[in-house]
Amino acid sequence: MKQYKLTYTVSVLSWAELPDEAKKAIEAAKAASEKAYAPYSHFQVGSAVLLADGTMVTGNNQENASYPNGLCAERIAVFSANSLYPEQAIKILAIAAQSRGEFQQKPVTPCGSCRQVLLESEKRYGREIEYYFYGTEEIYYVKGTEMLLPLSFSLT
């Protein structure tokens, strides 16, 4: 039997260790979480996408009483960025989540559907995305979607 050993790196950073661009993206994600529509879960997620040209695009989760019809913050931000700025690659994606007015202590990461969308965007532009997942106790940094989605499906 043949086996592959997969190794992934997640850096755990403090606020002081973040580059300025990451701080701005996290602050934008936190602000976006305030506007989330989450009357059922009370779990508000904000996402911010920093594009290669410096443009910031945000999104937040939008729930619906018919649960499958809601959408995650990450996909809203990415689809908006790809629609409004189709020539600009995503440089950074940041996520911040809160529940009942308190930001999560541990970082929240994208769901599987969002990870697949992020992979597609990364392949579309030929550029790895830098991820910053905010928590009040620690911040995760990951470079490249393959770290989030091992053995991913892609046409390329």
- Short-list 66, 58, 62, CA closest to 93: 58
How far is residue 57 from each of residues 29, 124, 151, measured CA to CA in Å?
A: 9, 18, 29
- Please say if 74 is a catalytic residue: yes
Question: CB-based contacts of 156: which residues, under 8 Å, 6+ apart?
Answer: 123
Active-site choice (17, 21, 34, 74)? 74
3-class DSSP state for residue 56?
Answer: strand
Residues known to be catalytic: 74
